[in-house]
Structure 1
């Protein structure tokens, strides 16, 4: 029998309508304001959030995931506010964050990391399509023969695969990715981002991606926003921004 959801979470998980809506969000750390009335949407698509170091990209992902309390504005997911939910309840609502630095449990095996994600999925009710371990291993075949190995012994790229795989095992409807190509060899960056596109196409998972490789991020995205000094300064279709020579002056 499925576990009964917290009423606040149950309300959020009802319906597909609305996607992610970030409305005039301000946030920071103590007296240091990082985000200034930022607004964006993600609905049935892959969206890139671009900007220089310190622009506030990671801060925005933390605010959306419940890891950082905002000082103004609102975050709505599936037409319901998640502003006052903690990280666990935001995760139960269908939002999965892969933080910068990968965030694997290094002393646990690959399989144990993945099953932790599956444990989150078991508490979300029956509405969402469950992501199987077979799907994750097909997506990242380099992990298939190493399930019993500790995650901390893997290369940086393999740890990133485990981190994304664990997030997918929560069966999310929205995936937040913070610099997924950090530490990867250039030859692996395109492959990793192509796999994100596969996840979106085959599972219908929306993606908001913060990425330092601007060209590759725009290549796999439908739309993009440029964040500068805590404010959105440019937005539009990814293909249009990719062809806009002036965009490079923003970084």
Structure 2
């Protein structure tokens, strides 16, 4: 596989073309951002951790019958992904009130929701990724009714799988952001990444006096210390889970 010119540079990844038109070469970077890029820092080791974490998560999801664009990891910080025609949407699933949801509705962070909440945000840096509803998406031609039905069903399936995966390593999945796109044949697949950058993760059984033990990018957002130990904790737990599931009769 030959790496060609850069196709796109995001906040934490660089995407390159390859000599296979159906495959993209993805390079994770050490850059951390918050506030739609208003806050930035270079954190040594972040690229390696996120590349490995998303590799393990995509593998665990595949075992549970949930395919993605992931092909294989090729270095500590790089992987190959199947090319998708991405929907310009951030797809968010919330299991507890936190972040912008808690602020928007004046709800105490950590409040349990009666049911998981599915939200969409329009991917636009100039507009700062605004909240967008289903009717808006249809009116703007960003997706069809059928697309949105499939996306919603897949997101709920992913939520169930991820909740179980993280619970198995004593972590609560509070919420997460994913992206999806279509293959050349029109199949909708999970894309982008699943890491502590894109999930809100709280330690189970390690919270005292209402204080949450964060294991995600909120550590960076809120100046709570270094993200590296938390991300390493997530990777260690996921790696151990993957090894257990790889054993015969697991």
Question: Structure 1 length normalisation: TM-score?
Answer: 0.29
Structure having greater relative contact order (Cα 8 Å, sep ≥ 6): 1
When you count helix as a share of all residues, which structure comes out higher?
1
When you count strand as a share of all residues, which structure comes out higher?
2
